[in-house]
């Protein structure tokens, strides 16, 4: 497969440059190091096939399609600024390649510097690990996934692109202590709670960035007299990822909106708040808070992990609006 994909190198490079120009036009890739990574890492090597919506269900586009027009559609689709469905099992999406501009936003928010080590939760296609390895070097990057088929294909894709970070098959909720400690942890799957195991594998001052509810939470890790804790706010950016599989229970996917006016029930920020607060607030209580606080943005919400507990909050971690998060089952 790798040798077959080589024939697309020139056309892929042209499409890749076009993708990067469009991302820059939209305000992404302000950091020259990340721009270079996106310019030089060939995304098409990581998605030799993917699925698109078609009449009658998902249709596969792949690099070896005998139809030249469909091969071209596959190649140029690999460089659209879109998420690509790469694994569907029993009709359910289990793995994807994230939207490049969202990946760029997450990587830039991590504020990575030379010499840092990174743990990625959710190997996916290997593309994100390749971008990290381009920036930091192979030895600094560890990526983990529960599914051995996913890690094996990610390993092959990475090797085809000339990168060899550590690709581990295991439960991402438990991290990878033998490769730690880490300066940064980035998850590419949605969490219902923050695994305590991650905090133990971080250096003080580390950052954890993860999809949570339908947003992105950025946590700073620090030492306290009572042990290690993590705390931070959500970014403004919405984010929709497949759930983390393993020790942590799956998140609520369809929050109840009974009794809520349609215009509010369809508002993504209201749904974010309702998903984040879980079963603590019923829809009417959530509606009352929503109206009282004037449609609060994601960045007003945060998460605290401390002394074996974790909770979500609005404006102040010690304020009146706080909601317990599901128990961490990674221990």
Q: How is residue 212 written in tokens?
A: 């949570």
Residue 313 in contact with residue 304, Cβ under 8 Å?
yes
**What are the C-alpha distances in Å from 120 to residues 64, 94, 103, 135, 202?**
30, 17, 12, 14, 13
Q: How far is CA 297 from CA 50, 175, 211, 273, in A?
A: 34, 31, 16, 9
Active site residue 153: no
Which is catalytic among the residues 95, 97, 193, 330?
95
Cα–Cα nearest to 41, from 19, 65, 63:
19
d(CA 78, CA 14): 12
DSSP track, 277-302: HTTSS-HHHHHHHHHHTTS--GGGEE
The C-alpha atoms of residue 167 and residue 247 are separated, in whole angstroms, by: 19
Residues labelled catalytic: 95
């Amino acid at each position: 497969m790798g040798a077959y994909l080589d024939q697309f190198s020139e056309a892929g490079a042209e499409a890749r440059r076009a993708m990067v120009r469009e991302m820059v036009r939209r305000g992404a890739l302000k950091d020259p190091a990340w721009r270079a990574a996106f310019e030089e890492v060939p995304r098409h090597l990581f998605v030799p096939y993917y699925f698109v919506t078609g009449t009658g269900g998902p249709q596969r586009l792949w690099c070896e399609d005998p139809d030249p027009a469909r091969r071209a559609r596959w190649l140029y689709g690999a460089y659209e600024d879109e998420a690509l469905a790469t694994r569907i099992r029993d009709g359910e999406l289990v793995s994807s390649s994230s939207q490049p501009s969202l990946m760029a936003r997450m990587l830039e928010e991590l504020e990575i510097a030379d010499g840092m080590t990174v743990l990625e939760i959710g190997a996916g296609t290997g593309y994100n690990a390749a971008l990290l390895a381009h920036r930091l070097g192979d030895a600094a990057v560890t990526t983990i996934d529960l599914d051995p088929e996913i890690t094996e294909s990610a390993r092959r894709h990475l090797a085809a692109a000339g990168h060899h970070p550590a690709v581990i098959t295991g439960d991402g909720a438990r991290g990878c202590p033998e490769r730690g400690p880490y300066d940064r942890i980035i998850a590419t799957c949605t969490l219902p709670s923050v695994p305590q195991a991650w905090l133990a594998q971080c250096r003080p001052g580390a950052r954890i960035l993860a999809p949570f509810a339908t947003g992105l939470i950025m946590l700073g890790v620090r030492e306290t007299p009572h042990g290690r804790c993590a705390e931070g706010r959500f970014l403004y950016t919405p984010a929709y990822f497949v759930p983390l599989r393993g020790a942590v229970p799956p998140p609520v996917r369809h929050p109840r909106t009974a009794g809520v006016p349609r215009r509010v029930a369809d508002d993504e920020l209201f749904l974010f708040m309702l998903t984040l607060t879980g079963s603590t607030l019923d829809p009417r209580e959530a509606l009352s808070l929503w109206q009282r606080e004037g449609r609060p943005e994601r960045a007003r919400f945060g998460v605290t992990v401390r002394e074996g507990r974790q909770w979500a909050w609005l404006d102040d971690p010690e304020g009146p609006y706080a909601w317990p998060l599901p128990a961490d089952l990674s221990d």
